[in-house]
C-alpha cells in the first residue's frame, strides 16, 4: 500500500510536528509516526466499506418502500440492478474485507449513517448512476466499470465525506489521494471469482520498508545538528532562521540518505525530495534545495565522502 515517497512524507511530517511541539521524546514521536501510518490502513477500510454501506442503505430503503401501505408500482417492483451489481456483492461478501473491518473495529458508518445517506443521495442523482440503471444490458465488465466510475467520480471527491475524514483524523489529509488511487486500481483489476476475489493489501511492501521508516526517522532526528552543518555554509545569503523549516527538514533527510543509506541511489534521493518540496513547500523551494544538494554531491564525490553500494552506484 505504501510507497517510499509516502513514507518519506510521513517521516517529514513527524519531524516537523516534533519541532512545532518542542518535543524531544524520540520514542513517543516514533510511536506517533507508526500510528499515523497504521491509520492509513483504517482509512483504506473506511473508504472501501463506504461502497458496501451505500449499497446496504439502498437495499434497506427498497425493502421499506415495498412494505408501504400505498406503495407505488415502481416501489413494489423496483429496479434492483444496483443491489445486484457483482462488484458490490463481491465486496459485501468478501471474507478478507469483513475480517479486516472486524479486526480493526471499523464501524464508522454504523455510528455515522447520516453520511452514508448523503452519499447515497449523491449517487442516485449522478449521471453515472442514471446511465447504469437505464442500461438493460447486464454483464460483469459493465458492473465493474460502473463501480470504478462511481467511486472515482462520486464517492471519492465528495466534499462532505472529505470534511468528515479530515475532522475524524487530521493525518489523513495527505493519505486520501494515495488510498483512493489504490482502491480505484484494485476495483479495475477485480475478476469474477466469488467472495475470495478481493484481497486486503499489506501496509508495507516488505520488512525493509517498515525498517526504512524507523531508520530514516531516527537517523535524521538524532543527527539533526550534524546534518544541518552540511548545508548551512552552502547558503551564504541565508541564515538558519531564514530557511523555511520544511526546506531544512527536507535537506536534512536528503543528506541523511546520502551519508547513512548506502543502498539508496543518489538520483532517487534527489528526485524524491524535489517532488516532496514541490508539493509541501514554497514555489521556489525545489530550485533552492536542488542547488544545495547538487553542490553537496560534487563535494562529497571530490572528498570520497559518498559511499554507495549495489544499486546506490546508479
pLDDT digits (tens, 9 = 90+) for 97-106: 999 999 999 9
Of 17, 62, 48, the closest CA to residue 221 belongs to: 17
What would the pLDDT profile of 110-128 be if each residue is shown by its tens digit? 999 999 999 999 999 999 9
Per-residue model confidence (pLDDT) at position 242: 56
Helix 127-134 and helix 140-150, axial crossing angle in degrees, nearest 10: 170
Can you tell me the mean pLDDT for 166-191? 94
Can you tell me the mean pLDDT for 159-173? 93
What is the grid cell recorded at 142? 459493465
Task: Assess whether pLDDT exceeds 60 at residue 234.
Answer: yes
| Burial group, residue 234, by CB count within 10 angstroms (0-12, 13-18, 19+) | middle
Of 200, 172, 67, 46, the closest CA to residue 116 belongs to: 46
Note whether 79 and 59 are within 8 A (CB).
no
φ, ψ at 132 (rounded to 5°) = -65, -45
| CA geometry: angle 231, 236, 242, nearest 5 deg | 80
Residues in the chain: 314
Element (H, E) at 206: none
| Burial group, residue 137, by CB count within 10 angstroms (0-12, 13-18, 19+) | exposed
Find where cell 544538494 sits: 293
Find where cell 516532496 sits: 276
**The dihedral sign for the CA sequence 227, 231, 236, 239:** negative
First to last CA, the chain: 26
Per-residue model confidence (pLDDT) at position 238: 52
Find where cell 517521516 sits: 11
Q: Please state, in angstroms and rounded to a whole number, the distance separating the CA atoms of residues 150 and 262.
A: 45
φ, ψ at 304 (rounded to 5°) = 55, 35
What would the pLDDT profile of 37-95 be if each residue is shown by its tens digit? 999 999 999 999 999 999 999 999 888 887 777 777 776 777 899 999 999 999 999 99
Q: In the 8-state DSSP scheme, what is residue 201?
A: P
φ, ψ at 59 (rounded to 5°) = -60, -40
Number of neighbouring beta carbons within 10 Å of residue 208: 10
pTM reported for the whole predicted model: 0.88
Note whether 132 and 81 are within 8 A (CB).
yes
Amino acid at each position: 500500500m505504501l510507497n517510499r515517497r509516502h513514507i518519506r512524507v510521513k517521516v517529514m511530517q513527524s519531524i516537523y510536528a516534533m519541532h512545532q511541539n518542542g518535543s524531544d521524546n524520540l520514542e513517543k514521536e516514533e510511536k506517533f509516526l507508526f500510528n499515523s501510518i497504521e491509520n492509513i490502513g483504517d482509512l483504506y477500510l473506511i473508504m472501501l466499506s463506504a461502497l458496501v454501506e451505500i449499497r446496504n442503505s439502498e437495499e434497506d430503503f427498497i425493502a421499506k418502500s415495498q412494505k408501504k401501505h400505498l406503495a407505488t408500482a415502481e416501489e413494489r417492483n423496483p429496479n434492483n440492478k444496483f443491489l445486484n451489481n457483482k462488484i458490490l456483492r463481491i465486496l459485501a461478501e468478501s471474507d478478507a474485507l469483513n475480517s479486516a473491518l472486524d479486526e480493526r473495529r471499523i464501524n464508522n458508518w454504523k455510528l455515522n449513517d447520516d453520511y452514508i445517506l448523503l452519499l447515497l443521495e449523491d449517487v442516485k442523482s449522478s449521471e453515472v448512476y442514471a446511465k447504469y440503471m437505464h442500461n438493460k444490458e447486464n454483464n460483469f465488465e459493465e458492473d465493474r466499470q460502473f463501480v470504478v466510475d462511481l467511486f472515482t467520480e462520486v464517492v471519492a471527491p465528495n466534499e462532505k465525506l472529505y470534511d468528515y475524514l479530515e475532522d475524524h483524523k487530521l493525518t489523513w489529509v495527505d493519505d486520501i489521494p494515495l488510498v483512493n488511487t489504490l482502491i480505484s486500481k484494485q476495483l479495475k483489476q477485480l475478476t469474477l471469482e466469488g467472495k475470495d476475489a478481493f484481497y486486503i493489501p499489506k501496509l508495507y511492501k516488505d520488512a525493509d520498508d517498515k525498517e526504512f521508516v524507523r531508520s530514516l526517522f531516527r537517523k535524521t532526528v538524532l543527527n539533526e545538528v550534524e546534518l544541518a552543518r552540511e548545508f548551512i555554509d552552502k547558503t551564504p545569503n541565508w541564515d538558519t532562521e531564514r530557511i523555511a523549516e520544511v526546506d531544512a527538514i527536507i535537506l536534512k533527510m536528503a543528506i541523511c540518505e546520502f551519508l547513512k543509506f548506502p543502498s539508496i541511489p543518489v538520483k532517487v534521493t534527489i528526485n524524491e525530495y524535489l517532488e516532496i518540496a514541490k508539493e509541501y513547500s514554497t514555489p521556489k523551494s525545489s530550485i533552492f534545495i536542488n542547488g544545495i544538494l547538487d553542490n553537496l554531491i560534487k563535494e562529497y564525490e571530490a572528498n570520497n565522502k559518498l559511499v554507495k553500494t549495489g544499486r546506490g552506484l546508479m
